[in-house]
Amino acid sequence: MGNSLTDPRIATALRRMYAEAEDQMAALQGGKGAEFARLAAATAQQRADAMSDYYLPVTPDAGRLLYALVRAAKPATVVEFGMSLGISALHLAAAVRDNGHGHVITTELSAAKVAAATETFIATGLDDLVTVLAGDALETLPTLEGAVDFVLLDGWKELYLPVLELLEPRLSSGALVVADNTSMPGLAPYLDRMRDPAHGYVTVSFPVRGGDSMELSCRTV
């Protein structure tokens, strides 16, 4: 089945997107970061609109980790909360394609990002494996039917726990829940819940960049 991350269309798209993300990070460090810091008190929609041109991506190592986890777990349904411009979704969809079955359902609040990512999915030949739910994930995800086998949480951090609780009744036994940026402030309630065995998960913190980590959790009930 091979490794679709080496497909020229996908590899070229990822190189371009990561290069653009690095340029954006340099601009943020150069002074624009304070501008976005003021958005902390804004609504989720206001933040999404303000960041509509920014990648906010998983790292390349984290992307490869997501690919490897999906290849190993072979989920039928992958749900991503917080698509942004589609870097993580490309890794997830590439793994689904190489597994020979499955589908990625991803959510995004920014209409501009939905349009841009959809073009990327088409250009990389992965569009038939990805469904984009545009709008508020707390409103779009309840439309899902059937079991969910793999979840990536990578949207606004205060929504990790509400999204998890929304999806939890649909999680299959053995489902993987991956949460990015779990070293960020405000995620203690999410981590406390996932690390309490009474809630039915085995979980581990996995470093993916300096000073930050992912939380990998397996549903055990």
Give the C-alpha distances (Å, rounded to integers) separating 6 from 14, 16, 45, 94, 213: 10, 14, 35, 10, 26
Amino acid letter for position 153: L
At the fourth CATH level, the homologous superfamily of domain 4-8+55-219 is: Vaccinia Virus protein VP39 (3.40.50.150)
Is residue 156 classed as helix, strand or coil in its secondary structure? coil
How many Cα atoms occupy the beta-carbon half-sphere of 90 within 13 Å? 36
d(CA 4, CA 207): 25
In this structure, of 26-35, 45-54, 197-206, the range with the lowest mean pLDDT score is 26-35
Q: For residues 78-96, give the mean pLDDT.
A: 97
Q: What is the pTM of this model?
A: 0.92
Q: Which amino acid is at 13?
A: A
pLDDT band, residue 149 (cuts 50/70/90): very high
In the predicted structure, residue 36 carries a pLDDT above the cut 70: no
Residue 96 to residue 212: CA distance in whole angstroms: 27
For the chain, domain boundaries: 4-8+55-219
Mean of per-residue pLDDT scores for the chain = 91
